[in-house]
Amino acid sequence: MSEEKTNGRNIGKIARRTFLASAGVVGGGVALGLALSPNRLKIYQDSVADGNETILNTWVKLTPDNKITVIIPHSEMGQGVGTGLAQMLAEEMEADWETVSIEQAPATDEYINSDLGRGYIVGEGARIPAFAYPMLDFAFLQIAKGAVGQITGGSTAIRLTGYHGMRRAGAAAREMLMRAAAKEWNVPINSVRAQSSILYHDASNRSAPFGTFAAAAAKFAPNLKPAMKSPADYKIVGTPKSRLDIPEKVTGEAKFGMDIIVPGMKYAAIAQAPVYGARAASVVDPANAAQQIVNLGNAVVVVADSYWEAANSLQQLDIAWSGGDLALSSIALRALHNEHLTETRHEQVMDKAGDAKAKLQSTETISVEYAVPYLAHATMEPMNCTALVRDGKCELWVGHQNPIAARDDAAAALGLKKTNVIVHNAYLGGGFGRRSSTDNVVQAALVAAETGTPVKLIWSREQDMSNDFYRPATVSRMRGRVEDGKISAIDHAYVFSDAGMPDSERPFAFQYDVPNRRIARHPYESPIPVGAWRSVDFTQMGFFNESFMDELAHKAGADPLAFRLAHKSDPRHRAVLERLADEASWGRPRTPGAAQGVAIVDSFETIVGQVAEITIDDDQRVRLHRMTSVVDCGQVINPSAAEAQIHSSLIFALSAVFFGEITLENGEIVQQNFPDYDMIRLRNAPVQPVIFMDSNLPPGGLGEPGTPPAAPALTNAIFAASGIRVRELPLIRAGFRSV
């Protein structure tokens, strides 16, 4: 793989022992750490406060007239993350929701998302002594600089940043304001209460808005372990609030990367090497039409006064590409996968119990192979970035899922200090993992450095589709045995390209009770760039595991949903399946002549069960009438946003299962635009009931968990309707099409 195409970012896999050692918790570093560690919630940039705003702590500002601004260290790409995080902070702060607004955090080290790393490594940290919190929090900040940055991905915003960070920031801010009021009124702090952005001292009948005490409160050090509210007392969390980013999107005031205009800006169009690994050996402009040409080696860029002019001039260039792997094809890649699946020297056993090998010697063993293809992200907004490089500094305007990574990689490419690179993060017109890579950012920075003017680099749709960081294609071989109606053993081997979740989230797990099991992955380096794709490994493993469960249920002569219940002891999983059977009228389809299929996947600390209800006509055209989802995501922060996330995840998944496939011939990507890479439209989208289980457990993720069960629920329904087992996606490979 060429060096230029390997700069995708994933959340680092940091072991607890490694973290504790580096933080100085083990050994003799405790005292030194305590002495040198500043209060994490007091680390901020003064420049984020405008006018009369007072910074209470890292994540919240307050004005004298009681306006509250929550600083959000995640990117907004349509998921409503800012609103949910603000709800969590405002709830603990006892804020008046009508006074709350949000603001994108600067892409600087002060606003690195250390709470995301803290949540991954040690959770809420209830066992961490209060005296050690400053050291640990500061250690998380240092570790997060390299491992996390400001990543938006892995469905982590609410479940990690919100639960471990925003709640604490809100509670700390409330406590600071109460202390300021208590000091002003000369009363005990426990006699002061907060409600709807007003402080009260009931005994003396005194009250004042938060803003009155903003400046005084900011002088106190935030408590790193403040008292939190009981969920029973929530008034903001759990209620359907309108998203705070919607008004400016409706009026057109919202700025996406494509909307950015900088004075004196030029436009750039790009042609990247059509064959992986090729280089531009020569560039000839026979019509002498291009204003400026920049050869980046693996790409050629034309800069002009308008994008139309740049794109047209680019089309007229005679570019001689040399090198590259012309033998690379989908057939060759499948052979590579099979080769690695057979090779056991580098096999990594991820989970093992009992003796699956002995159990599976029987002739009763079921052996099957599944495969899923490379998939593109196909975001509505093509990749783009605006850059200005001048006087040893760089300024970037881009919609990115990790603006800290964008800053760092641009600085490295230009040979600048990180502090000399400023990133203005815009709204994202779709991300799904694609905008966690920095290839377009680095390209824009290099072109701007060459031209000396502000340059907006825009990828055409064809460049976008053929130069993605694709979801890895994967082949899976599963073997299992059923004895007396129960699974006695299972063996799962699959090829693995490292572009997904940390192993700590166990995306590889077979989520059923089986006494003898063995799960092993066979690593390989993908010849084409791969990266995070909405729900990452879970989308592949969900299809493999839930398809195989249906095959085992069929072997046992059992009802697929009852068979799953028979292998689930986890009460949350069982409750989801039981509720799903009721809500989807399992076994009693609402549509005449319809068949049903079921799947359940636990991902990102959220359980989603889905039932697909379909009919198939004589031409094998599939009509998906209804997809019922039952979701246990713990505490639901914003019910309307939560439902929208499941809906969007499902449509994203169905587009992939019906149509999605990236193929290669002679080293080139075949698919070039949406006519080659279709998606679900209104005419073939199903009715989507979504039911959330009541829960006071900590919130799980919601941006991705609706995706993994969709494919197996649909293909299991196809088997129920036709007797044809779909083991390879997309459906067209088995002869099925969408109506």
Alpha carbon distances (Å) from 359 to 4, 47, 365, 480: 47, 65, 9, 9
Torsion of CA 207, 210, 213, 214, to 10 degrees: 180
Alpha-carbon distance of 659 to 569, in angstroms, equals 36
pLDDT in tens, 684-700: 999 999 999 999 999 99
pLDDT in tens, 169-213: 999 999 999 999 999 999 999 999 999 999 999 999 999 999 999
Alpha carbon distances (Å) from 385 to 267, 369, 434, 442, 615: 10, 42, 14, 9, 45
Alpha-carbon distance of 468 to 377, in angstroms, equals 7
Residue 130: the pLDDT is 66
Comparing C-alpha atoms, which of 642, 497, 684, 649 is closest to residue 158?
642
User: Which of 21-35, 138-152, 259-273, 643-657 shows the lowest mean pLDDT across its residues?
Assistant: 21-35
CA 410, 414, 420, 424 torsion-angle sign: negative
Token pair belonging to 148: 């996390």
Domain ranges of the chain: 28-243, 264-324+378-464, 343-374+470-738
For a pLDDT cut of 70, what percent of the chain falls above it? Answer: 94
Residue 20: the pLDDT is 47
- pLDDT confidence bin for 36, thresholds 50/70/90: low
pLDDT of 59 > 80? The answer is: yes
Q: Which CATH entry fits the domain spanning 264-324+378-464: 1.20.1050.10, 3.40.50.300, 3.30.365.10, 2.40.50.140? A: 3.30.365.10
pLDDT of 5 > 70? The answer is: no
For the chain, give the mean pLDDT. 93
Fold of 28-243: Aldehyde Oxidoreductase; domain 4 (3.30.365)
Residue 369: the pLDDT is 98
Residue 717 · residue 613 · CB < 8 Å: yes
Residue 337: which residues within 8 A CB-CB, separation 6 or more?
371, 473, 474, 475, 495, 524
Domain pair 28-243 / 343-374+470-738, same fold: yes
Fold of 343-374+470-738: Aldehyde Oxidoreductase; domain 4 (3.30.365)
Residue 148: the pLDDT is 85
Burial class for 252, CB neighbours closer than 10 Å (0-12, 13-18, 19+): exposed
Average pLDDT over residues 82-91: 98
- pLDDT confidence bin for 714, thresholds 50/70/90: very high
pLDDT of 9 > 80? The answer is: no
Residue 138: the pLDDT is 81
**Kind of pairing between the strands at 668-669 and 664-665:** antiparallel
Residue 552 · residue 480 · CB < 8 Å: yes
Q: What does the DSSP 8-state code read for residue 639?
A: H
pLDDT in tens, 290-310: 999 999 999 999 999 999 999
